[in-house]
Chains A and B, each alone.
Chain A
Amino acid sequence: MSADAEVDASRSPASEGLVMGKDGMAALVEVLVRRGFTVIGPTARDGAIVLAELRSADELPYGWGVELEAGRYRLRERQDGAAFANAAGPQSWKSFLHPPRVREWTADRVEGELVLRADSPAPPRYAFLGVRPCDLRAIAVQDRVLTGGAYRDPGYEGRRSGALLIVVECTEPGATCFCVSMGTGPAAGPGYDLVMTEVADADGHRFWVRSGSREGAEILAELPARPADPETRETARAGVTAAADRMGRTMPEADLRELMAGTLDAPRWDDVAGRCLTCGNCTMVCPTCFCTTSEDVTDLTGDHAERWRLWDSCFDLDFSHLHGGPVRASSRSRYRQWMTHKLGTWYDQFGSSGCVGCGRCIVWCPVGIDITEEAAALYDWTRSGRPDPGPEPP
């Protein structure tokens, strides 16, 4: 939903939404479980906010916030008891919609004939509780990649089409967040079934909830909630507006697509290559990175084979392997591939940016490489009078 549409929609009573307390959140998880959903949401475990299956709302990370910095992630307790006052954790929803390991098909040799069968188990019906606006956009970005082109990935489509998305708007951005630069948050964009804004202040801990689909409205109608009072709505809106002003990071005010296309020969790539370990963490935590490799296995009889698909990373030397060796041998070229794809060529390939500003790649980089800092350095280089390109390579 665009900002304009929201203003218009807010005139109708339905979009003024409902307000519920923690009991409403408990009821929400119960209703979702009763309706047969596999409910996935944030939990505090192993020193992080971890997405996991919820059996009860008690498992939500009430009272846990996070402290984020380049190469650093820490849980910290919050006095206000908020459940969603924590920015992006190490996982994203792609772990469920585009899982790290998928069996795609099997092949059997039966009396000299080759029998190939799609592996299509019935996908679970997921309800994602606590999708942040940046991640809502990330899901839309992966939708375009995996189902928006000439070929649809049937496994992704099966998991995605049944998924119920419950977005929680962002009121507590992290120091590594830059969703405002990427136009993805902190308010929710289109595509949710329910959206809520968490308020925890002297007037109590409550959630302002609006529906974005018929199914969302049906579920909302089952919850112990009251019509939203203007004060709660105002406080909630103010929290989201304030979050926009508290972004820890920003992208340079430039056309990032042009910036990437025009700086392929920038010396900054050598600089970042001197720091990058090519570990691929950024690609694993990125909510839009979709690349995969294939693995073919056989059983001991030799007559049964399986095709598996696994997450892959453009930082891996084998990623660009062609007979004769890798196309991108240097870490310079591999970091450049990742960043220029994310911010630039993704537009050419899929019609949008590949970056949603969640900041995960900054947090989980073991050496603290910051994509916003790298983009700013490239931008500075273009403005400080870049040298003439040298002669063409032979």
Chain B
Amino acid sequence: MTTVTPPLPYRVADAWAETADTRSIELVPAGGELAPFSAGQFAMIYAFGVGEVPVSVSALRGRHGGLVHTVRAVGAVSTALYRLRPGDSVGLSGPYGTGWDLEAAAGHDVLVVGGGIGLAPLRPVVHEVLARPAAYGRLAVLVGARTPADLVYRDEIESWRGRARVEVTVDRPGPGWPGAVGVVTTLLDRLDLCPGRTCALVCGPEVMMRHTARDLVTRGLAPQRVQVSLERTMHCATGHCGHCQLGPLLLCRDGPVVGYDRVASLLLVREL
């Protein structure tokens, strides 16, 4: 057991824009270092005097050797994090929560499905599979976004082509968009899916995860071979504040990554 302690000071080593409302920050220790994170886990990031929010790691090791987080400015705290520049300080605690179960994915085809900023917690998975291709089967990355301007990691996604099957779709294309249009589940038709040896990792808006997981099960994947990363508000990440409940689950503790078999019925209950 761990005693809850204040966050540790971390410094912003680098910060850059991903889209108009989304930026990534790389954080390095400035007095004590947290235990290593794994893909899919999250940190609580404290913006001085403003508050703390849970944010998944979007890369386990950035150019400066630090943790990378991708933040979309939607509330007071995330806007404060969005405004961070190199040299600024934050408080950081973690690692929290379950990560992606990559042991279950070992030896399997890996299907990564990310919607919007939901691609952020999946990016370390792509890094891992690309770094150790022999440990896994085929890698497919399906990406969905509202518009082309909302696509995060656009250049990096392009760099994955050739080493992975990459498909990108948007809901509302702008002029000159050459790619697919529609929800991300439409991309499943393009894959040569082997349900018996595929492990799917899905993150995005809840409605997108529900549809994607259900479509994958319809196509023959066992529900426990589909992992989803769920989101609820959190104030502590230590199982004490009660905000992140989803029925029997405390998502800071039992999640955010859970097998679809555990949540399929819960996701069908409105306002649970």
* Interface residue ranges, A against B (CB under 8 Å): 104-105, 107, 109, 112-118, 145-147, 149-154, 157, 264-265, 290-294, 296-298, 302, 305, 307, 312, 314, 319-323, 327-330, 332-333, 337, 340-341, 344-345, 348-349, 392-393
Question: 20 more A-B contacts (CB under 8 A) besides A152-B3, A298-B49?
Answer: A107-B46, A114-B89, A116-B6, A118-B6, A145-B239, A150-B1, A150-B253, A151-B2, A154-B3, A264-B272, A292-B235, A292-B242, A293-B235, A293-B241, A294-B235, A322-B231, A322-B233, A333-B271, A349-B245, A393-B268
| Chain A residues, Cβ within 8 Å of B5 | 118, 154
Q: Is the CB of B2 within 8 A of A296?
A: no
Q: Does B270 belong to the interface (CB within 8 Å)?
A: yes
Chain B interface size, as a band, is: 35 or more
Q: Is the CB of B50 within 8 A of A113?
A: no
| Chain A residues, Cβ within 8 Å of B50 | 296
Q: Is the CB of B74 within 8 A of A323?
A: yes
State in angstroms the CA–CA spacing of A117 and B4 once bound together. Answer: 12
Q: Is the CB of B241 within 8 A of A115?
A: no
| Chain B residues, Cβ within 8 Å of A341 | 245
- The smallest C-beta distance from B154 to any residue of chain A, in angstroms, reads 22
Chain A: CB-nearest residue to B214: A392
- The smallest C-beta distance from B68 to any residue of chain A, in angstroms, reads 19
* Interface residue ranges, B against A (CB under 8 Å): 1-9, 30-31, 46, 48-52, 74-75, 89-91, 231-233, 235-236, 238-243, 245, 247-250, 253, 268-272
State in angstroms the CA–CA spacing of A333 and B268 once bound together. Answer: 14
| Chain B residues, Cβ within 8 Å of A113 | 9, 30-31, 89
Q: Is the CB of A114 within 8 A of B269?
A: no
Give me 7 A-to-B residue pairs in the complex whose CB atoms sit less than 8 angstroms apart, sorted by A's number.
Answer: A114-B91, A152-B4, A290-B240, A298-B48, A321-B233, A348-B247, A393-B270
- The smallest C-beta distance from A98 to any residue of chain B, in angstroms, reads 9
| Chain B residues, Cβ within 8 Å of A393 | 268, 270
| Chain A residues, Cβ within 8 Å of B49 | 107, 296-298, 302, 305
| Chain B residues, Cβ within 8 Å of A340 | 247
Q: Which of B6, B52, B74, B236 contacts A117 (CB 8 A)?
A: B6
- The smallest C-beta distance from B271 to any residue of chain A, in angstroms, reads 3
Chain B: CB-nearest residue to A334: B271
Q: Which of A107, A115, A298, A349 contacts B250 (CB 8 A)?
A: A349
- The smallest C-beta distance from A85 to any residue of chain B, in angstroms, reads 34
State in angstroms the CA–CA spacing of A217 and B89 once bound together. Answer: 53
Chain A: CB-nearest residue to B1: A152
Q: A116-B7, A118-B6, A151-B4 are in contact. Are A265 and B240 (CB under 8 A)?
A: no
- The smallest C-beta distance from A109 to any residue of chain B, in angstroms, reads 7
Q: Is the CB of A320 within 8 A of B233?
A: yes
- Chain B CB within 10 A, most for which of A115, A116, A298, A312: A116
State in angstroms the CA–CA spacing of A113 and B243 once bound together. Answer: 31
